[in-house]
Amino acid sequence: MKFTRARSLQAVAVAAVLALTVGCSSQPEPAAEPTTSPPVEATASESASPALEVPDPRSLTGPAQAASLGAIEPIESDPTVTLPTTVTDDQGTKVTVVSIDRIVTLDIYGTISQTLVGLGLADNIAGRTVSDTDAALENVPLVTGGAHSVNVEAVLEVQPTLVLLDTTLGPANVPVLLRDAGVDVVVLNPDRSTELIDEQIRAIAEAAGVPETGAALIERTAGELDETLAYIDQLTADLDQPLRMAVLYVRGTAGIFFLFGGESAASGLIADLGGEHVAAAVGMGETVPANAESLVTIDPEVFLMMHDGLESTGGIDGLTSRPGVAQTTAGINQRVITAPDAQLISFGPTYPAALKALADAIYLDAE
């Protein structure tokens, strides 16, 4: 990468006019053939041409899986890095970043690492979580333990010069422990939505000292998202009522079985897919137990899930054996749409392509 060092923190602050605000599989998903990251396979007008036959999605039965995405193509292969830079993180802490030689990324969605790869900084990532599945990170050490918890000792073992994290992974004292060990830590916004994509990219780019590269990545992602949303509008144009959708989070056959409610990132995802978020419609909060009562109350037509989560509970048969699932319309029709874990809710630079892959699985039954 090209590297320029600012003469003073004040000069960096003037140059960086960005505002700082700113994921679960056990094995990375196999990478598809590398493409533009994330690719919208055709423009909206081409994809939604009259030749595209869209079935009645309510006539579709059985599970479908969203296609895995290809490797992320960096917006720039050798970005100019300007350090030191001082930012104020999501918790109000001022942090002066002096080196990005060894970055550790910690979030449940994989958004942070996806953004760094998109910025051309994949080689700077020294530690990751199980949600960070891009092909460029295959050999990067994992620093999380079971149940998406951060192993602070594992983080320190990779000798990070910067840790970028949000509060979606525990324990809550991780930032304090890492700062006490002398590591620069920038805490990012844990919220995810279409409206926050620009802010998240901007915040990560500023913390990494590549604000201009971040602006270019924002522009590319916004253009791809506009195309994808227009494509979905045409897929759903003939529906009298939107499909009733719900996002399930499940791990294993025991107690980890939740619905993402109206205060979660699932609301933005389902809205972008042209669906009705039934958990939000009945006032469910961020996450609620997916018990028989709650499932029958919302009665979704489509369940959206992480692929490894479905496999961990015994596939379709295991899922429908859980109380209440088989009594829903989605359960009766076995209409379960899965995506690779890092694709379902990321809202980073891969979001437009991940969204299109989900829409194709929902409305075209395509994989």
Is 9 within 8 Å of 117 (Cβ atoms)? no
Q: Which residues, 6+ apart, have CB-to-CB distance to 254 below 8 Å?
A: none
Q: What is the dihedral of CA 167, 173, 178, 180, to 10 degrees?
A: 140
For 36, 39, 236, 314, 327, the CA distances from 53, given in Å and listed in that order, are 26, 22, 12, 33, 31
Q: Which residues contact 166 (CB under 8 A, 6 or more apart)?
A: 22, 90, 106, 107, 112, 187, 188, 189, 190
The rounded distance, in Å, linking the Cα atoms of 303 and 257 is 13
Q: May I ask the CATH class of domain 2-29+73-218? A: alpha beta
What is the full per-residue pLDDT of the chain (367 aa) written as tens digits?
A: 544 433 332 332 323 322 323 333 333 344 444 343 343 343 333 444 455 789 999 999 999 999 999 889 999 999 999 999 999 999 999 999 999 999 999 998 899 999 999 999 999 999 999 889 888 999 999 999 765 789 999 999 999 999 999 999 999 999 999 999 999 999 999 999 999 999 999 999 999 999 999 999 999 999 999 999 999 999 999 999 999 999 999 988 767 899 999 888 899 999 999 999 999 998 888 889 999 999 999 999 999 999 999 999 999 999 999 999 999 999 999 999 999 988 998 899 999 999 999 999 999 987 6
In whole angstroms, what is the distance from residue 282 CA to residue 329 CA? 17
Listed by start position, the domains of the chain span 2-29+73-218, 44-71+240-364
| Cα gap 111→343, rounded to integer Å | 9
Confidence at residue 287, expressed as pLDDT on a 0 to 100 scale: 86
The Cα 225–Cα 218 span in angstroms is: 10
DSSP of 66-101, one letter per residue? PPPPBPPPPS-SS-EEEESEEEE-TTS-EEEE---S
Class (C level, CATH) for 44-71+240-364: alpha beta
- Can you list the positions of beta strands (E) in 133-282? 162-165, 184-187, 244-251, 256-260, 276-277
Q: Which helix (H) or strand (E) holds 3?
A: strand 2-5
Task: State how beta strands 125-127 and 184-187 pair.
Answer: unpaired
What backbone torsions phi and psi does residue 47 show, to the nearest 5 degrees? -65, -35
Dihedral angle sign, alpha carbons of residues 257, 261, 265, 269: positive
Helix (H, G, I), strand (E, B) or coil at 366: coil
pLDDT at 95: 98
Contact 310, 336 (CB under 8 A): yes
* Contact criterion met (CB below 8 Å) for 58 and 332: no
- In this structure, are strands 302-306 and 336-339 parallel, antiparallel, or unpaired? parallel
- Cα–Cα distance for residue pair 337/37, rounded to 1 Å: 23
